Structure 1
Amino acid sequence: MHSHYLELRAISQIEITELDVMNQVMQSLHQILVNHQGNIAISFPCYRVHRTLGGVIRLLGTEKELQNLKADIQQKSTISDYALLMPITIVPTTIKGYLRFSRVNPKGQSALRRAEQRLTAQGKWTPEVKNKMIEKWGSVHLQYPHFHLHSKSTGQKFILWIKQEKCLEPVQGNFNSYGLSQTATVPDF
C-alpha cells in the first residue's frame, strides 16, 4: 500500500489561470509517470473545488518510489516553474476512507455517428434512439473535472476526464501513466 506521499501545489500566476497551470503540470507529470507506471498513484485533495481538480496534485507510493519520482520531477523545469514540490511525508494513520480516481471516456460525435451507422444497418435507428444517446452521452462529461492535454505521440489535443469514487475498503492494484486506476484505491486524508 502507499506509505508516503508528496504534493505538487500550483504557483499562482498573474497571466494564466490555476486551471492552465495544472494542465501544464499534469502534461509534464504524465511524461515522468510513464517511467513509474504501476507504482505511483495520484489523488486530488481539492477535487471539485470550483468544479475543477483544484490546485494540488498528491502523488502516493513507497518512500523509495517517491524519492525517485521527486528526483525526476526536479529535473523537469516545466513543473518547477508552475508548482511547488512539497517534502515526502508519511501518510497519516487516521484517514477519512479510500478513493478511486479513474479516467472517464465520454462518448462524442464520432461515437454517435458510428452508432447511427451500425443501428441503421440493423434497422434499429430512430430519432428517439438518437435523442436518448445524445441525452445519455452528452451529459456524462459535464459532471467530471478534467485536464486539457496533448498527445506527444499523435500531436492531438484531448481532455482527460477524472472521476472520483468513495470506497469503504482499500483495493490493491496498478496505476496507469496518469496515476489513475479503474480498480485500485488511495487513502483519503
Structure 2
Amino acid sequence: MNLSHYLDIKLLPDPEFSAILLLEALYAKFHRALVTQHSDQIGVSFPQYRLKPRTLGNTVRLHGSEQDLLALDATNWLTGMRDHIHLSPISPVPESTKFQVFKRRQFKTNADRLRRRRMARKGETYEQAVSAIPSSVEREPDLPYLNLRSHSTGQRFCLFVELGNRTDRPTEGIFNCYGLSQNATVPWF
C-alpha cells in the first residue's frame, strides 16, 4: 500500500444546493468510481471531521499513490461536479505526519426492520421476533454520516464514519469501496 500522495476536494458554496447534498453527491460518485476501478488502494479522510457539531466538513481528502490518484482522475468521475468543487493538485504527503483510521460504523437503528428481517429468515411470528429483538437494541448514532445509495444493492443507507486510532506509524491494509478501512491508516494532517 502506497499512500504517498493526496488531493483535496473542497466543496464550494452554492445557493441552490446545501453542502451536505453536494457532499453526498460527490461521495456517491467517488464510491461508483472505486467500484468501477475495483480499487482498494485509495483511502479517504475528512480534514474537518468533528463530533460537536457532528460534521464531516466540506473537504474530502483522497490518499493513494500518485499513479492510483492519476488513474482515478482519468476516469472523469467528477463529471457534473466540477462547478461545485475546488480540486487541489495531486501532492506528496508532508514529511512529518500522524496517521489516522477512518472507518465505517454500522448500527442497529431500527428494531422493527430487524424483526421483519428475522421473521423472514427464521419463519418466526412477530411476537417471537419481538421477544428476540427488544426495542432496547436500537441505538441513536452520534457520528457524522452520509446518506447514500449502495452501488451493488441500490438500497439507501446511512454511512456513519468513525475515527479509529491515531498513530505515529502507518498501518497497512486495504480500503473498501467507500475509501474506508477498519485498520488501515491514512496520513492525518
Residue-pair matches, total: 179
Give the aligned partner of residue 81 of structure 1.
83
Residue 29, structure 1, aligned to residue 34, structure 2: no
2-structure distance, mates of 1:36, 1:80: 23
Whether the aligned pair in 1 keeps the contact of 2:49 and 2:55 (CA below 8 Å) is yes
2-structure distance, mates of 1:81, 1:30: 20
1-structure distance, mates of 2:135, 2:69: 48
Give the aligned partner of residue 178 of structure 2.
178
Judging changes above 3 Å, is the alpha-carbon distance between structure 1 residues 153 and 125 closer, same or farther for their aligned structure 2 residues? closer
Residue 163, structure 1, aligned to residue 162, structure 2: yes
2-structure distance, mates of 1:159, 1:64: 31
User: Equivalences for 1:111-122 in 2 at 5 Å?
Assistant: 111=114
TM score, norm. by length of structure 1: 0.82
Whether the aligned pair in 2 keeps the contact of 1:112 and 1:133 (CA below 8 Å) is no
Deviation, 1:15, is 1.4
Judging changes above 3 Å, is the alpha-carbon distance between structure 1 residues 46 and 112 closer, same or farther for their aligned structure 2 residues? farther
Q: Deviations over 1:24-64 (max 9, x none)?
A: 10011111112152110111101127411111010011111
SS at 2:80 equivalent: helix
- Aligned alpha-carbon RMSD (Å): 2.6
Residue 41, structure 1, aligned to residue 43, structure 2: yes
Equivalent pairs: percent with the same residue? 34
Give the aligned partner of residue 106 of structure 2.
105
Deviation, 1:6, is 0.6
TM score, norm. by length of structure 2: 0.82
Structure 1's consecutive aligned runs of 4 or more residues displaced over 3 angstroms after TM superposition are 112-118, 152-155
| AA partner of residue 33 (structure 2) | I
Deviation, 1:147, is 0.8
2-structure distance, mates of 1:93, 1:38: 24
Runs of 5+ consecutive residues of structure 2 not aligned to the other structure: none
SS at 2:47 equivalent: coil
Q: Choose between structure 1 and 2: higher helix proportion.
A: 1
